[in-house]
């Protein structure tokens, strides 16, 4: 790589319907180890471990099999254990589903 | 009848099933078929959490469709020999007999298999005497199992509660009267009052740094049973899968298995040697999982490994038109991924290596899947006794789940009619609630994931594929250190009980700590080498002293280890045994 990767700007959706009136975004600047060349799910975990210990998200299989870690990144629905992190990301829950908390939505059918 | 209390909710269910995937789903379906009311609770989402959805390319049943010589007796022998005679033979017999009906039933429920007319195509994998492994289309068995169970849940209108973390089994006079847990969606404490409880929570592959299993597999159910007073068995045995994808890391491991199992791929080390013959002169590239994993591990010790600590697995010795035909018939979703990385399997090798794959030990049960505790069953990977010292290749894990689920489901449905409710002892509930609330009050200290990381590194370093007394002692010291210094400081920075990952990870870390201690203590006690348990300081199999299972039970604040003779009905080890690996 020619230039240093630098810090990534990540906006992440936070909402706990049991206490919050409305959702908000939290902003983080992530050093290269937390985003460069790794999957989005790893960046989400990096944020949970280093900045946002209350962040809720799903990550059961991490092998593109279960689909539970699906989120919306920069307005595109992605499997976060499959897609690589980018230098600027807005991470939100998948649309058109009831948000249970943060990135966790109700995935039950009907 | 559901009742409300200010601090907890109470839900009644005649049969409570903890765990929603293969074993739990099958138990629920069979119990409902026989008229029982059930409730299935699960730590995550049905069809998405646990290891079933990740299951790979096969499931075994001795149908004899490709070779009429196969039958349940041969399957029985393969499993017991594969397990080095530590299996519970009564249990194995029940499971292999049921596999003949319960595995094909999956097709009726919606799973799709490779077929030749009305016959299932069956493959012969390491450890099987005849072709026995059925091949789900696309080598993603998990997706087929998920579809099959979903259709049955729908048909039977199965009552399911997702996102429930069970933290304790409730006892009444030494019998299991239900369970206590947190509903993660609303943060409420819930008492599940049951007449019968079936544990189907899976294994504890998360104990190891490298694992190809679900992040959920923290062995919660094994600890629930142990804390309640059930016996555990064979905790020193963990299976390592030699073909986890190291590049790209830990993806689609079950599909890399397809290259080996269905195309007879070859392993190479970094200097181009077909090294397996050095360790496995008889079976070579066709060895069982643990000895094959160990060979890769040792090549790395000697500096002949691949860049990420694995080995090369290749099919490039095969003619291109053969590979092209095979790919057409087996559309693997791993292939486009490899292509993106510039890996062409016709020319290049895959980088693969060992990862903890399956928990052989677990809750001790009898052939009816009953634990020592009245009203508590254990089915699937949470239980022990099916595999002895090693699970053979070819997909018996899902087969066991189906057979065990069948046994426990039917038994529970019958037994539940004759049982009364047991009273819930509120003292236990209060105790558990206080335990969790006090965890939530601790804001400073060490977090669950940090403890998990320490455990995973220690176990990988000292108690994985190659063990010795000194390393095990080191591991025990580290684990005791964690128990003494870290556990009292375990903290949960966020106060909510709603999807609080910090809380669930703290609870899981305490489970993992106990499970790793059990593994290490049992591994220290077993001074021999037997299949998945390999001691460099005791490199020989010792049938004279160690044709035994190690049983672990909870004493007064400490782990009690004892030995018992395996349940042997038909098969005993020969006087002179040829042991490889």
A-chain residue closest to B162, CA distance: A108
User: Rounded to whole angstroms, how far apart are CA atoms B29 and B155?
Assistant: 10
ipTM of this predicted structure:
0.96
Cβ partners under 8 Å of residue B317, min gap 6: B266
Alpha carbon B395 to its chain's center = 12
* Strand pairing class (B559-564; B549-554): antiparallel
Cβ partners under 8 Å of residue A6, min gap 6: A32, A87
A-chain residue closest to B185, CA distance: A100
Q: Which of B48, B187, B498 minimises the CB distance to A67?
A: B48
Over B440-470, what HEC string results? HHCCCCEEHHHHHHHHHHHHHHHCCCCECHH
Q: What is the pLDDT of residues B219-277, one digit of tens each?
A: 999 999 999 999 999 999 999 999 999 987 777 666 788 899 889 999 999 999 999 99
Q: Is residue A2 part of a domain?
A: no
pLDDT for B4 equals 46
User: Rounded to 5, what percent of chain B is helix, strand, coil?
Assistant: 40, 20, 40
- Probe site for chain A from B22, B45, B253 (most A CB atoms < 10 A): B45
- Probe site for chain B from A44, A65, A79, A97 (most B CB atoms < 10 A): A65
Q: Which domain holds residue A80?
A: 8-99
Q: Contact A59/B498, CB-based, under 8 Å?
A: no
Q: What is the pLDDT of residues A34-53, one digit of tens each?
A: 999 999 999 999 999 999 99
pLDDT for B252 equals 66
Q: Which of B50, B140, B499 minimises the CB distance to A56?
A: B499
User: Rounded to whole angstroms, how far apart are CA atoms A94 and A57?
Assistant: 12
Q: Contact B214/A60, CB-based, under 8 Å?
A: yes
Total structural domains within chain A: 1
Q: What is the pLDDT of residues B513-536, one digit of tens each?
A: 999 999 999 999 999 999 999 999
A-chain residue closest to B440, CA distance: A54
A-chain residue closest to B244, CA distance: A63
**What value, to the nearest 5°, has the Cα angle with vertex B270 and ends B265 and B274?**
40
User: Do B125 and B261 meet the contact criterion of CB atoms below 8 Å apart?
Assistant: yes
Looking at the predicted structure, is the pLDDT value of residue B24 above 50? yes
CATH of the domain at A83: 3.10.20.30
Q: What is the pLDDT of residues B387-402, one digit of tens each?
A: 999 999 988 999 999 9
Q: Is residue A13 part of a domain?
A: yes
Q: Contact A54/B496, CB-based, under 8 Å?
A: yes
Range with lowest mean pLDDT among B233-242, B274-283, B324-333? B324-333
Q: Is residue A19 part of a domain?
A: yes
Domains of chain B listed by start with CATH number: 242-355 (3.90.700.10), 426-547 (1.20.58.100)
Q: Is residue A88 part of a domain?
A: yes
Q: Is residue A67 part of a domain?
A: yes
User: Rounded to whole angstroms, how far apart are CA atoms B292 and B308?
Assistant: 17
Cβ partners under 8 Å of residue A61, min gap 6: A68, A69, A81, B48, B53, B54, B214, B215
Q: Is residue A70 part of a domain?
A: yes
User: Rounded to whole angstroms, how far apart are CA atoms A109 and A97?
Assistant: 10
The one-digit pLDDT tens for each residue of chain A (110 residues) are 457 789 999 999 999 998 999 999 999 999 999 999 999 999 999 999 999 999 999 999 988 889 999 999 999 999 999 999 999 999 999 999 999 999 999 987 64
**Which chain B residues are within 8 Å of A57, Cβ to Cβ?**
501
Q: Is residue A3 part of a domain?
A: no
Q: What is the pLDDT of residues B49-81, one digit of tens each?
A: 999 998 877 899 999 999 999 999 999 999 999
B191 sits in which H/E element? strand B188-199
Report whether the peptide linkage leading into residue A81 is cis, meaning its omega lies within 30 degrees of zero.
Answer: no
Q: Is residue A108 part of a domain?
A: no
* Strand pairing class (B446-447; B115-116): unpaired
Please tell me whether residue B45 adopts helix, strand or coil conformation: coil
Q: Which of A16, A53, A62 minimises the CB distance to B502?
A: A53
**What value, to the nearest 5°, has the Cα angle with vertex B98 and ends B151 and B53?**
40
Cβ partners under 8 Å of residue B388, min gap 6: B79, B80, B82, B83, B84, B85, B86, B87, B234, B237, B360, B531, B566
User: Do B380 and B400 meet the contact criterion of CB atoms below 8 Å apart?
Assistant: yes
> B47 — alpha (psi -120 to 50), left (phi > 0) or beta?
left
CA distance, residue B253 to nearest chain A CA (Å):
8
A-chain residue closest to B253, CA distance: A63
Q: Which of A54, A66, A101 minimises the CB distance to B48?
A: A66
Cβ partners under 8 Å of residue B351, min gap 6: B245, B246, B247, B306, B307, B308, B310, B311, B312, B313
Mean pLDDT of chain B: 95
């Amino acid at each position: 790589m020619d230039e240093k990767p630098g810090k990534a700007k990540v906006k992440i959706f936070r909402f706990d319907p049991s206490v919050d009136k409305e959702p908000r975004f939290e902003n983080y600047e992530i050093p290269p180890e937390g985003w460069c060349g790794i999957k989005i799910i790893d960046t989400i975990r990096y944020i949970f471990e280093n900045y946002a210990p209350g962040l809720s998200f799903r990550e059961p299989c991490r092998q593109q099999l279960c689909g539970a870690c699906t989120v919306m990144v920069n307005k595109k629905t992605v499997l976060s254990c499959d897609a690589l992190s980018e230098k600027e990301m807005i991470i939100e829950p998948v649309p058109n589903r009831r948000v249970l908390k943060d990135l966790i939505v109700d995935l039950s059918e009907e | 009848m559901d009742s409300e209390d200010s601090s907890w909710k109470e839900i009644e269910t005649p049969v409570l099933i903890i765990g929603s995937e293969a074993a739990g789903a099958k138990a629920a379906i069979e119990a409902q078929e026989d008229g029982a009311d059930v409730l299935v609770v699960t730590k995550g989402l049905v069809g998405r959490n646990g290891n079933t959805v990740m299951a790979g390319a096969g499931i075994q049943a001795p149908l004899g469709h490709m070779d009429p010589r196969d039958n349940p007796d041969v399957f029985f022998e393969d499993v017991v020999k594969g397990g080095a005679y530590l299996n519970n033979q009564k249990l194995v017999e029940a499971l292999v007999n049921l596999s003949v009906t319960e595995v094909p039933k999956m097709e009726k429920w919606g799973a799709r298999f490779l077929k030749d007319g009305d016959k299932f195509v069956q493959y012969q994998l390491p450890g099987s005497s005849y072709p026995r492994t059925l091949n789900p289309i696309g080598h993603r068995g998990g997706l087929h199992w998920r579809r099959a169970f979903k259709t049955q849940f729908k048909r039977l209108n199965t009552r399911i509660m997702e996102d429930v973390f069970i933290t304790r089994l409730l006892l009444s006079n030494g019998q299991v009267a239900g369970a206590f847990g947190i509903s993660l969606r609303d943060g409420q404490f819930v008492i599940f009052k049951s007449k019968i409880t079936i544990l189907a929570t899976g294994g504890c592959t998360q104990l190891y740094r490298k694992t190809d299993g679900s992040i959920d597999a923290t062995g919660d159910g094994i600890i629930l049973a142990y804390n309640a007073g059930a016996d555990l068995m064979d905790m020193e045995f963990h299976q390592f899968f030699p073909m986890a994808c190291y590049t790209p890391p830990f993806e689609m491991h079950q599909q890399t298995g397809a290259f080996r199992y269905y195309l007879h791929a070859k392993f190479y080390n970094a200097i181009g040697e077909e090294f397996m013959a050095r360790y496995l002169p008889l079976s070579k590239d066709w060895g069982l999982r643990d000895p094959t994993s160990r060979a890769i591990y040792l090549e790395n010790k000697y500096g002949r490994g691949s860049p990420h600590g694995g080995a090369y697995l290749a099919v490039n010795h095969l003619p291109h038109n053969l590979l092209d035909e095979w790919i057409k018939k087996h559309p693997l979703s791993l292939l486009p991924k490899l292509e993106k990385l510039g890996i062409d399997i016709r020319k290049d090798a895959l980088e693969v290596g060992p990862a903890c794959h399956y928990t052989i030990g677990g809750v001790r049960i009898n052939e009816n899947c009953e634990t020592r505790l009245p009203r508590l069953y254990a089915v699937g990977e949470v239980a022990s006794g099916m595999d002895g010292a090693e699970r053979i290749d070819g997909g018996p894990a899902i087969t066991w789940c189906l057979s065990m689920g069948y046994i426990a489901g039917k038994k529970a449905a019958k037994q539940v009619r004759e049982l009364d409710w047991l009273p819930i002892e509120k003292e236990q509930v209060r105790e558990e609630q206080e335990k969790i609330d006090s965890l939530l009050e601790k804001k400073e200290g060490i977090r669950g994931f940090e403890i998990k990381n320490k455990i995973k590194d220690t176990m990988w370093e000292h108690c994985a594929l190659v063990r010795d007394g000194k390393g095990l002692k080191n591991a025990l010291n580290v684990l005791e250190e964690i128990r003494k210094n870290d556990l009292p400081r375990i903290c949960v920075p966020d106060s909510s009980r709603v999807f609080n990952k910090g809380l669930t990870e703290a609870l899981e870390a305490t489970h993992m700590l106990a499970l790793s201690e059990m593994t290490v203590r049992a591994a220290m006690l077993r001074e021999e080498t037997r299949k998945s348990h390999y001691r460099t300081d005791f490199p020989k199999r010792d049938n004279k002293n160690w044709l035994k299972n190690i049983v672990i039970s909870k004493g007064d604040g400490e782990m009690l280890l004892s030995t018992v003779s395996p349940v042997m009905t038909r098969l005993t080890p020969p006087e002179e045994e040829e042991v490889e690996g």
